[in-house]
Chain A
Amino acid sequence: AQSVTQLDSHVSVSEGTPVLLRCNYSSSYSPSLFWYVQHPNKGLQLLLKYTSAATLVKGINGFEAEFKKSETSFHLTKPSAHMSDAAEYFCVRMDSSYKLIFGSGTRLLVRP
């Protein structure tokens, strides 16, 4: 079955340090992959998407992700964390019927 695995349920970083949120997917073909962010008591906002174009994808708020087929990974990074980045992040894939399959989420904590 197609799935998405987020390797860390919580990640804690200091403000100004790099962010790495890890995601692996299972698939026999190149999937469409997304990262969504959810701030407390808010809906989900699309950060970035990979749809088989460039493997390095840039998103909003300085985030980017690299699609690595050999590692079946789509990790989310940001060079310098900001307090406003504290939120829950979901790695998501789209299946052949355009339905989304969500990872379990990673909660990012940013320390002052």
Chain B
Amino acid sequence: NAGVTQTPKFRVLKTGQSMTLLCAQDMNHEYMYWYRQDPGMGLRLIHYSVGEGTTAKGEVPDGYNVSRLKKQNFLLGLESAAPSQTSVYFCASSSGTATLGQFFGPGTRLTVL
């Protein structure tokens, strides 16, 4: 049982390049989330999904797109990376109840030059 995994762990992009971050969970969770973490700001929700085939915007969705084609995977895409998207990205999943909270992946450190 691997929990929540993220690929890649590190990435450096040039401004304007595109990339996709992959999140996978093996806990059969309905809900999945993408956050970004910046110094002094905690984690902020980018997009989330309440089930396969559904996505919704979070607090800071601009410049990102997501897809949830399979229940276990949640992809975060950057179509044209900007330096402001330099951050650490965390994926999380949950069963959709308050009692268990959310389970987080190890994070992806992205630098945009």
Write out the residue numbers on chain B whose beta carbons fall within 8 Å of the beta carbon of A43: 90, 104-107
Taking the complex as formed, is B48 at the interface, i.e. its CB lies under 8 A from any CB of chain A?
A: yes
CA distance A107 to B48 in the complex (A): 27
In chain A between 87 and 107, which residues have their CB closer than 8 angstroms to a CB of chain B?
Answer: 90, 92, 94, 98-100, 102-105
Q: Do A104 and B106 have beta carbons less than 8 Å apart? A: no
**Chain A residues near B (Cβ < 8 Å):** 9, 32, 34, 36, 42-46, 49, 51, 90, 92, 94, 98-100, 102-105
Q: How far is the CA of A94 from the CA of B94 in the complex (A)?
A: 12
The majority secondary structure among interface residues of chain B is loop
Q: List the interface of chain B (C-beta within 8 A of A).
A: 31, 33, 40-45, 48, 50, 58, 90, 92, 94, 96-107
Contact across chains for A99 and B40 when beta carbons are under 8 A apart: no
Q: How many angstroms from the CA of A36 to the CA of B90 in the assembled complex? A: 14
Q: Which of B58, B98, B102 contacts A51 (CB 8 A)?
A: B98
- Not counting A32-B98, A43-B106, A98-B31, a sample of 20 additional A-B residue pairs whose C-beta atoms are within 8 angstroms of each other reads A36-B101, A42-B107, A43-B105, A44-B104, A46-B103, A49-B98, A49-B99, A49-B100, A51-B99, A90-B42, A94-B98, A98-B50, A98-B96, A98-B97, A100-B45, A100-B101, A102-B44, A104-B40, A104-B41, A105-B42
